[in-house]
Structure 1
Amino acid sequence: MEIQKSHHEYKSASIEHQIVLIAENIRTPENAGMIMRLADAFGIQQLFFVGEHAVELSTKVKRASRNTYKTVNFQYIADATEIVTDFTNEGFTPIALEITNSSKPLKAFKAKKNQKFVVIVGGERQGVSETLLKMCTEHYHIPMFGKNSSINVVNALAVGLYKITENH
């Protein structure tokens, strides 16, 4: 008989991927906390909450993060252009999870061995800004099969990070 393990019994792989995550203009505290949780779950190297509308670390954010705010390397910054430029100069490939006129379906994503990424997701209202989209070498979208053209940023990020790290 299979029995579900408790959280204390499970040992993670403890891999830190060479992935930097930029979450632009995330307004909802619960989304910010869950993004921290995903950053922890997928071994993200560094997380940047960006923009004038980025939600601050609050009780709601902490609660939604399930205490990963204590272990994830994150910071708040006003503008990401310098960060993207710096990481690109260090050999990171900037990609956006956003539907655009040039985006490819996420299933087309292929990483080279040891490739480093800056993954950019956008806020609940406007998505990734045009400024950051222009800095990305590629854009990827999750194909939708219903009537809506998008899903919640946290859900999209979970799908995206799974695909990006599956063979990394």
Structure 2
Amino acid sequence: MRKIENCELERKSIDAFKNSEKTPLIIVLDDIRSLHNIGSVFRTADAFLIEKIYLCGITATPPNKEIHKTALGATETVAWEHHKNVLEVIKNLKKEGVITLAIEQVENATLLQNFEVHTSQKYALIFGNEVFGVSQEAVAICDGSIEIPQLGTKHSLNISVSVGIVVWDLFQKLNYTK
């Protein structure tokens, strides 16, 4: 077994990325404090050809040195917008026919492994503040909620880890499940 060199990875150019068919997933980040988390989410979004990121509330926006440190250029490829109010973003996405899903521990949440995707549908995944999670107001207007099962003592994951887990799961269900 030989480790693959960077030049062998057949990476897309920025233009090729922007012109590629996107995975029908949108990420909504609300009141994310950590610039490193934001950058990591951009990098994950780039890896899985995510359609767009909405940065809401106090969530910082590019260009930003600390976001760039973890995004490694993904802020140049992934489409993004900033909006003050996450509730308006969710309402607008719903009007466009996008299924909105709070990624949160709530009553009657669907466990991630049990969530079924429809390949003809577009999904928006709403992630909240590192301490307070997705606001109750946002949860209340979402179409549903997905919970990442956790068996340890903390029942809490870093926001960028949560994004990676959920995006990977839905990406593989959208692309590799028959």
TM-score by length of 1: 0.92
Please say which of residues 78-87 and 27-36 is displaced more in the overlay: 78-87
Is 2:115 the partner of 1:137? no
SS at match of 1:21: strand
SS at match of 2:8: coil
How far is the alpha carbon of 1:15 from its aligned partner?
Answer: 4.5
Quote the RMSD (CA, aligned, Å).
1.6
Relative to total residues, which structure has the larger helix share, 1 or 2? 2
SS at match of 1:167: helix
CA distance in 1, matches of 2:10, 2:116: 28
Tell me the matched-pair count: 166
Q: 4+ runs of 1 displaced by more than 4 Å?
A: 12-15
CA distance in 1, matches of 2:119, 2:60: 35
How far is the alpha carbon of 1:33 from its aligned partner?
Answer: 0.4
Name 2:48's counterpart in structure 1: 42
How far is the alpha carbon of 1:83 from its aligned partner?
Answer: 2.1
- Do 2:102 and 2:127's aligned partners in 1 also have CA atoms closer than 8 Å? yes
1:28-67, aligned counterparts within 5 Å?
Answer: 28-51=34-57, 53-57=58-62, 58-67=64-73
Name 2:172's counterpart in structure 1: 166
1:1-168, aligned counterparts within 5 Å?
Answer: 2-11=1-10, 15-51=21-57, 53-57=58-62, 58-168=64-174
CA distance in 1, matches of 2:157, 2:43: 18
CA distance in 1, matches of 2:5, 2:85: 40
Q: Deviations over 1:54-81 (max 9, x none)?
A: 1243211111101111111112210122
CA distance in 1, matches of 2:5, 2:79: 26
CA distance in 2, matches of 1:19, 1:107: 17
How far is the alpha carbon of 1:136 from its aligned partner?
Answer: 1.2
CA distance in 2, matches of 1:8, 1:167: 29
CA distance in 2, matches of 1:6, 1:136: 43
Structure 1 unaligned regions, length at least 5? none
SS at match of 1:81: helix
CA distance in 2, matches of 1:99, 1:44: 24
- Do 1:109 and 1:163's aligned partners in 2 also have CA atoms closer than 8 Å? no
Q: Percent identity at matched positions?
A: 22
CA distance in 1, matches of 2:77, 2:11: 14
How far is the alpha carbon of 1:5 from its aligned partner?
Answer: 1.4
CA distance in 1, matches of 2:155, 2:49: 28
CA distance in 1, matches of 2:166, 2:53: 15
